[in-house]
Structure 1
Amino acid sequence: MVEVVEMNWNSTRRSFDWYSFILGVLFVIAAIIAFVDPTSSLLAIVVIFGVLALIKGIYEVWFHADVQSLLGRSPIWLLVMGIVDIVIGAFLMLHLGIGMHLLPYFFASWFIVDSAMGLLTVGLLQSFDKRYYWWSVALDVLGLILGIMLLFRPLVAAMALSSLIGIYFLIYGAYHIMRAF
């Protein structure tokens, strides 16, 4: 007789995830900065984006190993996303002027790819926690919509970039803070 073991997200989680919590707080701080002074220079946004992309990439590479040990298989897409985020962050930090002109396209690509990957893999969460699953679906759909809007309207996106960035950073920060618990 084969025994079916149902996994429970709370029973498979270890302790409080400080790294995810700190990453979430940093994203929330970046969101507040974007909301307080929406006319701030794109240069500051490029620097913040570059640093956050580096941190996010490092986190994804680390989380890849954690997921691999938990599931027993390698989620290569998570490792690839981490490396892509590290490369984007490093490029922006080294080429601030180019980054200012390409920022709407970087954000559009980041939103679209990150949200699409989230939607493609969200099924893994359904067996763990239904609320977390639906929050992830909602946040990924919102990120996908924002990414498509940024991609097809770069001039409009450039004018409203601080607010859009603030919204995304706030959502992503809340997501990581929620993930920490």
Structure 2
Amino acid sequence: MQFEQRKGFDWFSLVVGILFVIAGIASFSHPDKTLHFLAIVVGVAFIFRGIYELWFRRFINAALNESSGWVIFAAILDIILGVIVLVFPGFGALYLAILFAIWFIIDSFMQIKAAKFFRLFHRGYATWLIVLGVISIILGIILLFSPMLSALTIVWLVSVMLIVFGIMHIVQAF
């Protein structure tokens, strides 16, 4: 069975694409406000995650018959951290910057560790993974000791992502 689909102009994709591009340009123009907004989003996410963990704790008790004290501790910690980030968004921005740098370093170590598996298939690729992993670790350490650079990197990544998604939606509209 073959379905013939008529392709027309998609106004919704065009509008969404334009809005994404405008948001990306605005976030490039106002990195401080973008970082502040991201800190608020992370704070709200932590609070919701903590509430979810408290709700999920019941299922751990019922299904596994295990003590869930560690889940309660993590949930309360998430809620407290979320409230702190919402009350002190400057702390939230610093927290995001440091968390991003740590994530960058950990991901780089994982990349180097994964290179040993790729060595079996393609030695050159594994070598490149190790070289890029070491460079990424160095960049991660630089970001860790320069939270402002790390924060700007986060804003740039979000801005570029918004613009790219916007362009994709605009192209999809046609």
User: TM-score, normalised on structure 1?
Assistant: 0.43
Scaled by the length of structure 2, the TM-score of the pair is 0.44
